[in-house]
Amino acid sequence: MDIQDEKVSVEMTLTAPGCPVSGMLKDDVTSKLLTLKDVKEANVDIVWEPVWSPEKMSDDAKRQLGWLA
């Protein structure tokens, strides 16, 4: 993520290149960013480097999926 004045740019890695909701996720993240105070412009790019892996998940997310006790 990069923040410059009132502009936020995000690079987001998805779990798989064929993700059927990638466009919807990009639009949802963009719209949520634009609801933040002082954010006037938001740009979200889907990237494939670094490659996503379960190790990138927070412990809380892993708990929600039952991967941690």
* Beta-ladder partners of 8: 3, 42
What local confidence, expressed as pLDDT, does residue 52 receive?
A: 87
pLDDT at position 30 is 97
- Reduced to 3 states (helix: H, G, I; strand: E, B; else coil), residue 51 is coil
Specify the pLDDT at position 62.
92
Q: Is 9 exposed, middle or buried (0-12, 13-18, 19+ CB in 10 A)?
A: middle
Cα 6 vs. chain centroid, distance in angstroms? 19
> Where does the pLDDT of residue 69 fall: very low under 50, low under 70, confident under 90, or very high at 90 and above?
confident
Dump pLDDT digits (tens) for 15-58.
Answer: 888 888 888 999 999 999 999 999 999 999 999 888 888 888 99
Predicted TM-score (pTM) above 0.85: no
Q: For 2-64, which CATH class? A: alpha beta
Domain ranges of the chain: 2-64
What is the DSSP pairing of strand 7-13 with strand 2-4? antiparallel
Find, among 62, 1, 66, 57, the residue nearest to 33 by Cα: 1
